[in-house]
Amino acid sequence: MNVPASWYLILAAVLFGIGLFGLLTRRSALTMFMCLELLLNAVNLTFVTFARTLSDIGGQVNVFFVMVVAAAEVTVGLGIVVTIFRNRSSTSVDGLTELQG
């Protein structure tokens, strides 16, 4: 018998939690991006686990699309990061308070 799917799901949940904590706690924009990738990977893991559990290839197709979108998102996101932080010395997101009030 293979390891039950629930273990992988718990692993994915824990990975998601760690990524969430990192997203809330770190200040640098690029580190926050990497935590985002953690979140996405946790989701991918969940999808693949369910694809196995329910015998539906749709789960893996979804992971495929998530990866594509993640790639596009990183592209545009890093472009934004570059534009914003070009003229500043640090990448701390605490400096972006223009939407205050």
Q: Does 100 bind other proteins (CB under 8 A)?
A: yes
Provide the β-strand partners of residue 28.
92
CB of 47 closer than 8 Å to CB of 60: yes
Report in angstroms how near the CB of residue 77 gets to other proteins at its nearest. 9
Q: Is there binding between residue 76 and other proteins (CB under 8 A)?
A: yes
Q: Contact between 45 and other proteins (CB under 8 A)? A: yes
Q: Say whether residue 3 binds other proteins (CB under 8 A).
A: yes
49 binds other proteins (CB under 8 A): yes
CB-based contact 77:40 (threshold 8 Å): no
